[in-house]
Structure 1
Amino acid sequence: MLKGGDWGGQPPVEHPQARMPGGSSVICRPSRRTSSDPPTAQESGRLMPSHPSQIGNSPRVRDMPIYKQYYDLIANGTKTIEVRVAYTSMQRIKVGDRIRFTCRGERTLTQVKRVARYDSFNQMFEHEKAEAIDPTANREQQLRAIRDIFPPEKEALGVLAFEVEKVPS
């Protein structure tokens, strides 16, 4: 029988699928890399950028379509609160998540700083600054515009106000 030193110091191993007639096993030399073998991921520096347990910790990005007049205000940084009804999908958005507002092929990435929930648009306007929602309209104009977008049955689901800030590109 060969000794461990006969194969470069690595001990021989029994190959689980190699059996000789009569049931005796075959001893195989552990595989050795040669210079013609392609580099491993470790050798070429292509390791995973983070530990698998950290992958889920990166901010989620959600695409959110928005009317052009409001998109422009978010893109220039003057609209810092986005209002939506509390659909189940909207309720999943948390502080730290990212929202990519989209309109006609344009995109602006923001990060959620705060999420507030209200029973109605009226209640929301009692707590949120109207100029942060739309700096070009007063409270009454905004309330009309929001109710044109979201009818009473949608408002009944509840109202969410997302405070966002632009992510530098």
Structure 2
Amino acid sequence: MERILVVGVTGAGKSTLAQALSSRLGLPYHEMDALYFNGPDWSVNSELAEDVSRLTAEPCWIIDSLGYPEVRDLLWDRADTVIWLDYPKRVIMPRVLRRSFRRTVTRELLFGGNRETWADWLSREHPAWWAWSQHGTRRREVERRVRDPRFAPLDTFRFSHPNDTAAWLASL
């Protein structure tokens, strides 16, 4: 476990787990959303593919994302371990709603200097809407990838409940 990809739907706890793994294993952690969104108005990093290629060429890393389409294959090709937070909607939705509510109320500074706003809640791009609408699609995408023979050398850990994830983390 030296090149770890933590995957799951929005709100599963990918960043939280990736940070905990980074501390426990002493591996550098790179937050995909921070790499992707690099400026005001949620502007997108035009050099994302180059940045991710450079980071994943290193011998050790942890990245928290299924991966944006332009770097998804690169991440999966270079990872040696996938940790899949395969939680049901009943787990995901309260988490993402609490997180977005907290971020909106506190005006928490996010990637690229952006913030979640009340108006954002009406957008289909909002994390709560995204988690709800993309849950099945993202789950099927990860399922397809972990079964893909091209990625067969990957060690895959699939957790269906946060308690299972916590127990596994404690065992490291």
Common fold, TM-score beyond 0.5? no
Output the TM-score relative to the length of structure 2: 0.23
Q: Which has the larger radius of gyration?
A: 1
Decide which structure has greater strand share. Answer: 1
Output the TM-score relative to the length of structure 1: 0.23
With a CA cutoff of 8 Å and minimum separation of 6, indicate the structure with the bigger relative contact order: 2
